[in-house]
Amino acid sequence: MKKLDCNNALRMETFDLPVMARPFAEANDKPLRMALTTPQLFSPRSCLLVGCGDSYCAGVAAKPLFEQLGGIRTEALSAMEASRHWPKGRIGNEPCNPLLYVISASGNVSRNIEVCQRAAACGVGALTVAVTAHPDSPMAKASQAVLPISPTPFDSGFDEHSPGLRSYYASLYALCSSAIRMGEVKMRYPMSQADDYRRAMVEYAESFGGEVMEQIDDAMFALAQQWQEFDSFEFLGSGAQMATAWFDAAKIYEATGDVATYEDMENWCHVNYFARDHRRVGTVLTISKDSPAMVRALEVAEVLARLRPTLIVTDADAALFPKEATVCQLPSPRYGFLAPLMDYVPVALLSGYLARLKGVSLFRGGEPAFQSQPTHFLKTSQIEIV
């Protein structure tokens, strides 16, 4: 089968990421810098990053930047954890603390709105910031500030809805930008350094364009043909790249509907290693060359290549990894902590091709069992303040 016969909306969205990077930054950098005042960024002693699905994943990916650049203790929580289980005293007990980013491109998800309302109900406490493309949405109206994300226009040319990559990039870019701004107003580095961090984000995304994207695309189409009969997939990472593993697994569910798990690579050695049908579990390890876990990753890669069909996604030298594994080599960001902005690209392409080769629709389009649920009650679930 020819590659272009398997073209799909997810592939087209992936190809658009390097194209959208600069116009997106030009349209959004100033609003993002101005979204929060200096006191709002300087005063908080802790930070919470909250969301559902991909938006939760963006919080996990951005957590190291708030800690490293912003110098603030940061936790990433699912919206359910923050709305129903997180102690009230840790949401509201002193002015502007914590700084609570609630992430949703649509701004209509019930649990996220619930988080904002719960924070407000605590009285003195969290400064809630809606990270959304819809500043008039219910979530934005329930927040005290808005971190705006305005994606550039895009048409995939397909009728089917694509698993969100552009919205994920936009949300993660906005969070990274806010972390950079926080470090800047705290004078942890000069304005020139902050500007360089911002330039580096755009340059990193653009480095995936042209021939680089074509090479990755060719490799993932070839791998999809080898893996198309698999119905189980596993994704491994460490540190910030656990977010990538999480996001990659989500794209498989959304694109093909196959079972996909994600795991810290150390925990994998203790538990998931024992999977019985190991020759039919497509397994992906994502690791950056600058990761503190790189040496351990090389050990794990040896085990994976012996047991399973394995893809290594990395910016390190491919020769470091076992010859039995497929290695997809990525461009390196100028600052290693920016890797999660783009290191999901190979699996996004792989997921789209697998869906086409398996003959399934993205998001189970057209399947009655899935269409009968009103968007799984994401936007209509009853809001409760506990």
AA letter at 80: M
Mean pLDDT of the chain, nearest integer: 94
Q: Are residues 198 and 236 in the same domain?
A: no
Q: Are residues 278 and 341 in the same domain?
A: yes
Burial 15-45 (b: 16+ CB within 10 A, else e): bbbbbbbeebbebbbebbbebbeeebbeebe
Which of the two residues, 84 and 379, has the higher pLDDT score? 84
121 confidence band (pLDDT: 50, 70, 90)? confident
Q: Please give, one letter per residue, the 3-state secondary structure of 152-170.
A: CCCCCCCCCCCCCCHHHHH
> Considering 183, 206, 229, which residue would you say is the last residue of a domain?
206
Distances in Å between the Cα of 378 and the Cα atoms of 308, 366, 373 are 36, 19, 10
> Considering 206, 221, 244, which residue would you say is the last residue of a domain?
206
Residue 287 CB partners (closer than 8 Å, separation 6+) = 237, 238, 241, 265, 293, 294, 297, 312, 313, 314, 316
First to last CA, the chain: 54
Whole domain around residue 236: which residue ranges? Answer: 211-362
pLDDT at site 91: 84
Q: Is residue 381 part of a domain?
A: no
Q: What is the rounded average pLDDT of the residues 182-211?
A: 98
Phi, psi at 285, each rounded to 5°: -115, 120
Q: Is residue 369 part of a domain?
A: no
Smallest CA-to-CA distance from 268 within 283, 258, 252 is with 283
pTM attached to this predicted model: 0.95
CATH of the domain at 279: 3.40.50.10490
Phi, psi at 233, each rounded to 5°: -140, 150
1 confidence band (pLDDT: 50, 70, 90)? confident
Q: Are residues 37 and 185 in the same domain?
A: yes
pLDDT in tens, 177-196: 999 999 999 999 999 999 99
372 confidence band (pLDDT: 50, 70, 90)? low
Sign of CA dihedral 12, 101, 184, 73: negative
pLDDT in tens, 216-263: 999 999 999 999 999 999 999 999 999 999 999 999 999 999 999 999
pLDDT at site 373: 56
Q: Range with the lowest mean pLDDT among 26-40, 156-170, 186-200, 307-321?
A: 156-170
Q: Is residue 21 part of a domain?
A: yes
Q: Are residues 113 and 138 in the same domain?
A: yes
Q: Is residue 379 part of a domain?
A: no
CA distance 111 to 211: 41
Please say if the pLDDT value at position 375 is more than 80.
Answer: no
Q: How far is CA 35 from the centre of its chain?
A: 22
Please say if the pLDDT value at position 162 is more than 90.
Answer: no
pLDDT at site 386: 75
pLDDT in tens, 98-113: 999 999 999 999 999 9
Q: Are residues 249 and 202 in the same domain?
A: no
Please say if the pLDDT value at position 148 is more than 80.
Answer: yes
Q: Among all chains, which residue has been given the structure tokens 């909306």?
A: 9
